[in-house]
Chain A
Amino acid sequence: MKLITAVIRPEMLQFVKDALKEIGVNGMTITHVYGRGSQAGLRFTTRAGEIIIDELEKTKVEIVLEDEMVDKAVDAIVKSAQTGKPGDGRLIVTPVERFIRIRPEPSESTE
């Protein structure tokens, strides 16, 4: 089992959700976060000089998946979240030690 943590552009969230739904992934945790990438934020020039905004809005999506689904999901996220400009975000895949549902598994596998 793997945990995918994707930090994406907030405006791309809907596309990512749609793309994941297409490959059958529905469960996810979405958090609105602030961060910056290798450009260390954005620079703007004003009349009085330069200002640097170093905390940009991003959206974090966390998904736990069976190993065989991971590549498909990674593909779907990368394709749907990409604009090609700096600030598209990052994707991290980490192993999951244990994964426990809080509600007991239904006796018949009807999920």
Chain B
Amino acid sequence: MGTKNYICLAIMAAIVLAAVTLTFCSQSLSAETVETTEDTGSISWILVSSILVFTMVPGIAFFYGGMLRKQSMSSMITQCLIAMGVMTISWIAVGYSLAFGGDGAIVGSLDYLFMTGVTENAASGISDMEFALFQMMFAMISAAIVLGACAERIRYTAVVWFLAIWSVVVYAPMAHWVWGGGWFDQYLVVLDFAGGTVVHICAGITGIALALFLGKRSERVRNSRAHNIPLAFLGCALLWIGWLGFNGGSGLAADGLAVRSIVVSMMAAACGMMAWAVVQYMVVGRVGVLGMIAGSIAGLVGITPAAGYVGIPESMVIGAVAGVLCFYAVRMTKSRMRFDDALDVFAVHGVGGIWGAIATGIFAAPEYTGEVAGLIYGSTDLFIGQIIAVIVTLIYCFSVSYAIIWVLSKLMRVCVTPEEELVGQDLIEHGEHAYM
């Protein structure tokens, strides 16, 4: 126990030292002032979007927590809090540099550790630092999404270490491949407007890797119902609101593209929710809050990679198909699969994300994308590129995430015992009941 403490302290000291050193080194760089006419509209909008995306993280805590047992509510909140902490530090320390630090095929560079040389002023549009801030929120929300799959059995310490490693070896390279000029950009035609691949497919399949490794929860925990529907709805509302910044800010400017992205996002969310409701009504015979919120999230996940590249009619198709697909995916994973994806992270984010990526390959309109066109405009390059990107993302994120948790399992206990699970992690790990 003692040595572990010292190791933790040593790591923290190293981080602080590195930060201090780099601050001194970088002073000469950031001292230069840039004289420009600033695009204050875009700067404001991306700041607001960043904050909107940030609200999705507490939103996820409510959304997931409300759908778990009451004995797991504090646990889910604590896990989301640690995701905020770990991902912020990791992104500013190394993540941003690895993702957007250069044109390497696999990762960027280590030039921008601790935002060294990343300027807060921009000649036009938004500055690098604002972009890094916006992207930081994406890293955070991706990590938080994963937590739904392994809920109620992964130990808290394991979550902390897993996210710390995952943010560097899985998330940062993924962001680099898709957005940072990595090999997706170099060798394939891939479009991902707001992170269908990087955020949703990646988080979904990481969730599967964890759920598979950790095994199923005990039957009683698995069969228990959502303990607080109003909280789940509050979480969904925060996610939906935040998503408008998530998609609307991804054009990185306050312009017509942002407006259209938000309109198509609303349309897809509405269609996803309605489609889910219709299918659920036909199959189950009734419709409820949990179904409707899952449907809206499915629609939003579906439109995420396509938001900037499609018009209104396509967005309706994308949203509606996402709702129906995810509904059947949830039913299938609940009944047939061997893994226990506690909150259907893969069925909604994974399946919805895969559909969104493929739909982008089908519907991307040349008038919005520049030169690249989707399948319905007679071009196959993008469609093939999207499918390869999806497959690579699935394989890479699954195998590396599985490897991380496997390694962690050799160093520590990663799973709670069945007895601990029944009592609930709120009490066992955190000593705090969510409710009196």
Which residues in A have some Cβ–Cβ distance to B below 8 Å?
A: 9-11, 42, 44, 46-47, 51, 53, 56-57
Could you list 17 A-B pairs, sorted by A, with CB under 8 Å?
A: A9-B220, A10-B220, A11-B218, A11-B219, A11-B220, A11-B223, A42-B419, A42-B423, A44-B419, A44-B423, A47-B1, A51-B428, A51-B431, A53-B427, A53-B428, A56-B423, A57-B422
Mostly, the B contact residues are helix
B420 in contact (CB, < 8 A): yes
Once the chains are docked, how many angstroms separate the CA of A45 from the CA of B92? 36
B434 to chain A, nearest CB (A): 15
Once the chains are docked, how many angstroms separate the CA of A11 from the CA of B222? 10
Which residues in B have some Cβ–Cβ distance to A below 8 Å?
A: 1, 218-220, 223, 419-420, 422-423, 427-429, 431
**Chain A contacts for B422, CB-based, 8 A:** 56-57
B74 to chain A, nearest CB (A): 15
**Chain A contacts for B420, CB-based, 8 A:** 44
**Chain A contacts for B223, CB-based, 8 A:** 11
**Chain B contacts for A11, CB-based, 8 A:** 218-220, 223
Nearest residue in A to B223 (C-beta to C-beta)?
A11
Besides A47-B1, A53-B428, 20 other CB < 8 A contacts?
A: A9-B220, A10-B220, A11-B218, A11-B219, A11-B220, A11-B223, A42-B419, A44-B419, A44-B420, A44-B423, A44-B428, A46-B428, A46-B429, A51-B428, A51-B431, A53-B423, A53-B427, A56-B422, A56-B423, A57-B422
**Chain B contacts for A10, CB-based, 8 A:** 220
The 9 A-B residue pairs with the shortest CB-CB distance, nearest first, are: A11-B220, A53-B423, A11-B219, A42-B419, A10-B220, A44-B428, A44-B420, A53-B427, A47-B1
Once the chains are docked, how many angstroms separate the CA of A57 from the CA of B424? 11
B67 to chain A, nearest CB (A): 19
Nearest residue in B to A47 (C-beta to C-beta)?
B1
A33 to chain B, nearest CB (A): 15
Once the chains are docked, how many angstroms separate the CA of A39 from the CA of B219? 23
Once the chains are docked, how many angstroms separate the CA of A46 from the CA of B223? 28
Nearest residue in A to B431 (C-beta to C-beta)?
A51
Once the chains are docked, how many angstroms separate the CA of A28 from the CA of B431? 35
Once the chains are docked, how many angstroms separate the CA of A11 from the CA of B217? 12
Most chain B CB within 10 A, of A10, A44, A57, is at A44
A59 to chain B, nearest CB (A): 10
**Chain B contacts for A44, CB-based, 8 A:** 419-420, 423, 428
Once the chains are docked, how many angstroms separate the CA of A83 from the CA of B169? 43
